[in-house]
Amino acid sequence: MTQPDNASNDTVGSVHELAVLSRIFPLLPSASAALLGPGDDAAVLAAPDGRFVVTTDMMVHGPDFRFAWSTGHDLGWKAAATNLADVAAMGARPTGLVVAIAATRDTPVSLLEDIASGLRDACAELAPGCGVVGGDMSVSDTFTLAITAFGDLEGRAPVVRSGARVGDVVALCGDAGVAATGLRLLFDRGVDEHGTPDRSLADRLRAEHPDTVGAQLAPRPPISAGVAAALGGATAMLDVSDGLALDARRIAAASGINLDLHSELLGSDPEMALRGGEDHALLATFPANAPVAAGFRVIGAVTEGSGVTLDGEPVEGVLGWDPYAGWNGQAG
């Protein structure tokens, strides 16, 4: 495990849980909706709407991130961003995070401090007012970070995947394929001659390609656009985490329609846009007779049928990420 530059000699195994928590808690962001925060058996969050949305996501060392490429701050940021995007995709405003970490005994405490700082900074930039309200720590041979996120619908109906209707337009807020381009660079040029991920090579790539490599290691999804889409009349929406084509199929299947995407609207590399995930853009449908919400751009239309087409032609095969099959349906 690559230690952060400011690492001390303390590990979680040498100082134990209470000492670790005493160093992490001051770094974590507080939540505006917290009536009772960390310190008891459970937190208490205000739910003025009478409902709340909840989602969870895990990041496991190996398939989901590499310490040889990601700093602790990157990991905390990305873990927050991926969960905040799921809340935003329901048209909700993020209110709180619960964080669980399973760490190896030799994990530097300073690494956990950096993760906490990443969580804090991501919440402050992407979802002000959202904070960490509790969590858990355990030990494992494989470092794992799991987050549960909560959100407030503020009196609105949730924007679900099953609401798209024929005649709607398809719109995207955020990038498509940028983070995947960064991941390709890391696998192509961020490894040594033996194919092992290398921090110095990754740092050099990040300096040379901050937009793409940075988008992979620390994505900046448009969290506030979720509420804007809900207020703007979005009929369906989801977070593009596994690839535009794969996630568009999920809306199509839930709504019983076809999403026809237009290649000239997908940027300079439509194939990468279709395959790439982890930008955590918001994909939504809007009624054709109304303007799309601010920040969204039209990329297609909802038509009769079932599935996803590109310029009217079926998009075949598995394009995107499957945690069991790998990227684009290929093991790796």
- CA end-to-end span of the chain, whole Å? 21
Does position 166 have pLDDT exceeding 50, yes or no? Answer: yes
Phi, psi of 12 (to 5 degrees): -65, -30
Q: How does the average pLDDT of the chain come out, rounded?
A: 91
Specify the pairing of strand 144-152 against strand 53-60.
antiparallel
Q: How confident is the model at residue 78 (pLDDT cuts 50, 70, 90)?
A: very high
Does position 171 have pLDDT exceeding 80, yes or no? Answer: yes
| Residue found under tokens 């999403």 | 259
Q: Which domains does the chain have, with CATH numbers?
A: 12-152 (3.30.1330.10), 161-174+221-323 (3.90.650.10), 182-217 (no CATH)
State the Cα–Cα distance between residues 264 and 94, nearest whole angstrom: 34
Listed residue (121, 27, 35) closest to 79, CA to CA: 121
Does position 314 have pLDDT exceeding 80, yes or no? Answer: yes
Q: Taking the CA of residue 308 as centre, how many other CA atoms within 13 Å lie in the half-sphere pointing to its CB? A: 26
What number of H helices and E strands is found in the chain? 9, 15
State the Cα–Cα distance between residues 174 and 279, nearest whole angstrom: 7
